[in-house]
Copies of this chain bind each other. A is one copy, B any other.
Amino acid sequence: MTEATRRERLRADTEREIRQAARALLVERGRDAVTLRAIARELGITAPALYRYYDSHDALLRQLCDDICADMAAVLYADLAADTSGQVGCQVRAVCRGFRRWALAHPQEFALVFASPRDPLGADQFGSVFLHLAGRLIASNLVVKHADEEVPEVLHEDLVRFQQVLMDAVSVHGVTVEDDVLNLGKIYHVVQSWVRLYGHVALEVFGRFPFAVSNPEPMFDNMLDQMLSDIGFQEDDSAAR
């Protein structure tokens, strides 16, 4: 069955344990507790042994970020699958709610991945869910036509690049879209939505609203409604595909 040698299997097992231990430490005791020695202690080995698996503490943290992204993507995909309405609007809502719920349940992970002044995440690990959904959203053609002229010319170059990223993300899943459907105006609105979604979630996770919010959830839902309506979704539209 397995072509891997005994040694390779053991190595893979240990590496998995390292990741699990690192993750548990981050979740339970914060970023500063993710220590080589603490991880090693958890596995019953010594700290230098970890250097057989990772070049440095920093490299291990980077790996941790990737794992977190992968896990979050899995959660969001599950949220997406749980929506049986078949309506793109509902799907977007489900994923956005899932993102907020995940961030609130995993503040340490959120801070590490989404709010640390380190190297930018690659588009793939960034959360293909978002890209996938954004692509489908735009392709569904339910979005009101936004004229490209609304978008300042200086942004065109960047938006065209993002357009390509989106097309790639969607085509990976076997869907192809015509160029003209993915026009710049729509793409710009998707970026604006990301700004609002991220802004609300981060403010809530970090407690940086200018006053104590006792009921953040309806506030979020309200923002979501307005966001979807800004993009051009009506409340009870039915979706394509």
Residues of A in contact with B (beta carbons under 8 Å apart): 30, 107-108, 111, 114-117, 119-121, 123, 126, 130-131, 134, 151-152, 154-155, 157-158, 161-162, 165, 191-192, 194-200, 202-203, 205-215, 218-219, 222-223, 226
Q: A203 CA to B111 CA in the complex, in Å?
A: 12
B123 touches A161 (CB 8 A): no
Q: A108 CA to B116 CA in the complex, in Å?
A: 9
Q: A223 CA to B199 CA in the complex, in Å?
A: 13
B222 touches A209 (CB 8 A): no
Residues of B within 8 A of A196 (CB): 192, 195-196, 199
**Stoichiometry, copies per complex:** 2
Nearest first, the 10 A-B pairs at minimum CB distance are A199-B199, A120-B207, A115-B115, A162-B211, A195-B199, A154-B218, A107-B117, A154-B215, A198-B199, A195-B200
Residue of B nearest to A204 (CB): B195
Residues of B within 8 A of A126 (CB): 208, 210
Q: Contact partner of A214 among B116, B158, B209, B218, CB < 8 A?
A: B158
**Shortest Cβ distance from A26 into chain B, in angstroms?**
11
B107 touches A210 (CB 8 A): no
Q: Contact partner of A222 among B111, B120, B155, B200, CB < 8 A?
A: B155
**Shortest Cβ distance from A201 into chain B, in angstroms?**
9
Residues of B within 8 A of A223 (CB): 192, 195
Residue of B nearest to A220 (CB): B195
**Shortest Cβ distance from A150 into chain B, in angstroms?**
9
6 contacts between A and B (CB under 8 A): A119-B207, A126-B208, A155-B215, A157-B214, A161-B211, A194-B203
B117 touches A161 (CB 8 A): no
Q: Contact partner of A194 among B152, B195, B210, CB < 8 A?
A: B210
Residues of B within 8 A of A120 (CB): 206-208, 212
Residues of B within 8 A of A212 (CB): 120, 158, 161
**Shortest Cβ distance from A102 into chain B, in angstroms?**
14
Residues of B within 8 A of A200 (CB): 195, 199
Residues of B within 8 A of A211 (CB): 123, 158, 161-162, 165
B191 touches A210 (CB 8 A): yes
Q: A209 CA to B222 CA in the complex, in Å?
A: 23
